[in-house]
C-alpha cells in the first residue's frame, strides 16, 4: 500500500535492544579518527544524552535491556560492536584493537545467559576478526557486511555459515567512516530500504549498492560526517543524530518519522545512535508486532493524536523538542 506521496506506508515493529550505560565512558586512547584523548569529556552530559536515547526507544514501545558497564572498558557504551544476533543465532565480536578485546567475553556471557529471552540457540565463538553490528547490517533475507578497516572478509563467511543467509561484502575506503554503520543505514528491514553515502565505498561496492538498491536514500558528506547514517530504524521511527538535517528531511519526505537525538559527547568516541544499540533479532517463530503507521508529512498541517507519549524529564532533550516541532506533538503535562 502506498501513501499519497507514492511511498509505502511505513510501519514500525517492536524491537529488542541491548545497551550499556556510559558510566565509565572516556576517550582515554585513540583507535579511530574521531578520538582525541587530549579533549574534554563531560561525563554527566554523556549519561544524560544516552538516557535520552533510551527514553526515545522506550517511548516508542521498544524493549531495552541493559548490560552492566565495567571500569577500564570506556567503549562498552558502544554495544552494537559486541555481538550480532540474527534469527536467534549469535556471533560475538572479535575486536581488531586490544583496547576492546575484553568486551567480547562480556557480551558472550550475556547472550549465553539470556538467549532464552529471544529463542536463541548456541552462541558461536568468533574465529575471524569482526566488530559485529558495526560492520553487519541485517536485511529481510540477506546481510550487508563491511570490510577494509576492522571486520575481515573471513568473518563474513562465518556469519553466512551461522545464519544460512547470503552475506554481501562491501569495501569501505574512508578512514573516518571505518565501520559500515557510519556509511550505511537500514531503514526498513522488511522492504530492504537503505540509506548510504557512496564515497565511503570502493567503486565496485558503489556499483553493487546502486544495482541492488535503486531506491536508496543518498546521504551527503556533511550528513555522513555528522553521523547521520549511524541511525536506528524500526521501520517507521528513525532515531538519528541531531546534526544530520538534510538526511532527516529526506527521511520525512520518504514517509519515515525522524527523531533527532543529541549524542555529541559520545560522538567524541567515534560512535552515535547505532553504535550504542545492539539489536536482538529473535528466532523466526517469534511474531513481529506493528506499533504504528507513518505520520503525516511535514507539509500537512493537520493535527492528530500522537502514537506515543513522551516522558517528562528534568531537561528538555533534543529528541523531544524535534518531535514536537516537526510533527506538532504537544507533550501533555510537561513544561520546557
How many helices (H) and strands (E) in the chain? 9, 16
Q: Is 129 exposed, middle or buried (0-12, 13-18, 19+ CB in 10 A)?
A: middle
Distance of CA 267 to the CA centre of its chain: 13
Q: Where are the alpha helices (DSSP H) in the chain?
A: 43-59, 101-114, 153-163, 180-183, 203-212, 221-225, 245-253, 264-267, 318-327
Q: Which of 179, 193, 237, 327 is catalytic?
A: 179
- Assess whether 43 carries a catalytic annotation: no
Q: Residue 155: which residues within 8 A CB-CB, separation 6 or more?
A: 94, 126, 128, 129, 130, 135, 145
Taken in order 72, 74, 75, 76, the sign of the CA dihedral is positive
196 C-beta neighbours (distance < 10 Å), count: 26
- Assess whether 107 carries a catalytic annotation: no
DSSP 230: S
Which residues pair with residue 160 across a beta bridge?
none
Q: Of 121, 127, 123, 172, whose CA–CA distance to 146 is shortest?
A: 172
Q: Which of 20, 62, 89, 275 is catalytic?
A: 275
Catalytic residues: 179, 275
Amino acid at each position: 500500500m502506498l501513501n499519497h506521496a507514492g511511498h509505502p506506508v511505513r510501519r514500525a515493529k517492536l524491537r529488542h535492544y541491548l545497551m550499556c550505560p556510559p558510566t565509565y565512558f572516556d576517550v582515554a586512547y585513540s583507535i579511530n579518527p574521531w578520538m582525541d584523548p587530549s579533549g574534554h569529556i563531560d561525563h554527566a552530559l554523556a549519561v544524560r544524552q544516552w538516557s535520552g536515547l533510551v527514553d526515545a526507544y522506550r517511548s516508542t514501545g521498544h524493549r531495552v535491556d541493559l548490560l552492566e558497564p565495567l571500569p577500564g572498558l570506556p567503549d562498552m557504551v558502544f554495544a552494537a560492536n559486541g555481538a550480532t544476533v540474527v534469527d536467534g543465532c549469535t556471533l560475538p565480536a572479535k575486536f581488531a584493537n586490544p583496547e576492546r578485546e575484553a568486551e567480547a567475553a562480556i557480551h558472550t556471557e550475556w547472550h549465553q545467559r539470556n538467549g532464552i529471552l529471544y529463542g536463541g540457540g548456541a552462541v558461536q565463538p568468533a574465529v575471524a576478526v569482526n566488530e559485529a553490528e558495526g560492520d553487519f547490517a541485517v536485511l529481510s533475507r540477506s546481510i550487508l557486511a563491511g570490510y577494509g578497516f576492522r571486520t575481515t572478509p573471513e568473518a563474513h563467511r562465518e556469519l553466512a555459515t551461522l545464519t544460512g543467509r547470503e552475506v554481501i561484502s562491501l569495501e569501505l575506503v574512508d578512514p573516518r567512516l571505518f565501520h559500515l554503520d557510519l556509511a550505511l543505514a537500514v531503514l526498513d528491514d522488511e522492504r530492504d530500504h537503505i540509506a548510504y553515502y557512496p564515497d565511503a565505498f570502493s567503486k565496485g561496492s558503489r556499483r553493487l549498492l546502486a544495482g541492488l538498491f535503486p531506491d536508496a536514500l543518498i546521504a551527503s558528506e556533511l550528513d555522513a560526517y555528522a553521523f547521520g547514517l549511524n541511525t536506528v530504524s524500526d521501520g517507521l521511527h528513525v532515531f538519528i543524530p541531531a546534526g544530520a538535517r538534510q538526511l532527516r528531511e529526506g527521511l520525512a519526505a520518504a514517509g519515515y518519522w525522524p527523531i533527532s537525538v543529541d549524542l555529541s559527547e559520545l560522538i567524541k568516541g567515534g560512535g552515535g545512535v547505532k553504535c550504542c544499540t545492539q539489536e536482538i533479532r529473535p528466532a523466526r517463530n517469534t511474531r513481529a508486532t506493528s506499533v504504528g503507521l507513518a505520520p503525516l508529512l511535514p507539509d500537512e498541517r493537520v493535527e492528530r493524536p500522537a502514537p506515543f507519549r513522551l516522558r517528562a524529564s528534568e531537561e528538555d532533550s533534543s529528541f523531544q523538542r524535534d518531535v514536537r516541532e516537526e510533527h506538532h506533538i504537544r507533550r501533555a503535562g510537561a513544561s520546557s
